[in-house]
């Protein structure tokens, strides 16, 4: 399945292009696609809104159609936007979100980080209490867009300016904080691409949801 790297791109321009690609996917003119990108500092607010603190961060704030509340994007964070047609995947939104979380968990495997899902909490967590990646999608006409944001060398102080995903900013962590050493973003891109191929190539099977109750898509 196609994987494209946009490098660093302003959030507004990336958002419009992602929406265009969703329409292209619905029309069958492109295949399922994962977009990798970094953004200059920005706060995005999903359909669940926030407590108003995002506007006080001094950063640009963009309201979007993905699930969840407010989160931060910035340099050192690898963002993955998944444009995927769920029609041939049984229209199973929750299983797809679980698949994105599993993608991040697998991408972190080479660094031996204790990453996993937490029942009832969206995203990927370290030791069940520190959030290293947020996940939030939108679905229109059964085609997904938006996706995940993995903190590699992100300035975690930015999260302290508001309540990311409704939590205290102190809950957020990064690969570099956990490992206490630099992590090359290109190496993480490579592992994300590998996990994407494992989970989303034609003929691949997403892992089952399991018995744990899952909320709807959100950050």
Higher pLDDT residue, 219 or 212? 219
The domains found in the chain, sorted by start residue, are: 3-200 (3.30.930.10)
The model carries a pTM of: 0.92
pLDDT value at position 169?
85
Q: Which residues participate in catalysis according to the annotation?
A: 165
| Contact of 7 with 39, CB cutoff 8 Å | no
H/E stretch holding 26? helix 11-26
- Which pairing describes strands 33-38 and 3-8: parallel, antiparallel, or unpaired? parallel
Query: Confidence class of residue 22 from pLDDT cuts 50, 70 and 90?
Result: very high
């Amino acid at each position: 399945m196609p994987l494209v790297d946009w490098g660093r791109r302003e959030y507004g321009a990336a958002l419009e292009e992602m929406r265009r690609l969703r329409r292209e996917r619905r029309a069958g003119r492109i295949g399922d696609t994962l977009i990798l990108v970094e953004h200059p500092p920005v706060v995005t607010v999903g359909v669940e809104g926030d407590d108003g603190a995002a506007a006080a961060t001094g950063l640009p704030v963009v309201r979007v159609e993905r699930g969840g509340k407010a989160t931060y994007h910035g340099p050192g964070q690898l963002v993955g936007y998944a444009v995927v047609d769920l029609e041939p995947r049984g229209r199973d939104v929750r299983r797809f979100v679980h698949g994105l979380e599993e993608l991040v968990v697998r991408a972190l495997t080479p660094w031996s980080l204790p990453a996993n899902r937490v029942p009832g909490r969206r995203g990927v967590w370290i030791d069940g209490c520190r959030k290293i990646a947020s996940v939030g999608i939108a679905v229109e006409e059964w085609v997904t867009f938006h996706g995940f944001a993995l903190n590699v060398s992100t300035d975690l102080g930015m999260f302290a300016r508001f309540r990311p995903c409704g939590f205290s900013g102190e809950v957020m962590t990064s690969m570099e904080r956990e490992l206490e050493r630099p992590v090359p973003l290109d190496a993480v891109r490579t592992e994300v691409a590998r996990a994407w191929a494992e989970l989303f190539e034609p003929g691949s099977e997403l892992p089952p949801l399991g018995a744990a109750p899952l909320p709807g898509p959100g950050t």
